[in-house]
Amino acid sequence: MSDIEALKKERQELIDKMLEMQKQFIEYEHQNGISGKDYWASKEGLLANYRHEYREIANRVVDLAHEIVGSSRF
């Protein structure tokens, strides 16, 4: 597997993880409702690290996309 193929594979795996996270979030929201406080300040359960983890994955996906095409984010 080439370096580009490996990067594309990692990117797709991360996108799949993000989609699964979104699905879980929506299911949780439908079952429990989510207040702003829950979303921004939750210390337990699904929402405890959701925003941070999702943001980290999204940033990695963007970095991978730039690396694949040889561009720079900054």
Residue 20 reports pLDDT greater than 90:
yes
| 49, amino acid identity | N
* Distance of alpha carbon 45 from the chain centroid: 17
| Interatomic CA distance for residues 32 and 66, integer angstroms | 38
Would you give the end-to-end CA distance of the chain in angstroms?
28
66: three-class secondary structure by DSSP: helix
Digit-coded pLDDT (tens) for 38-54 = 889 899 888 999 999 99
d(CA 71, CA 40): 33
Tell me the pTM.
0.87
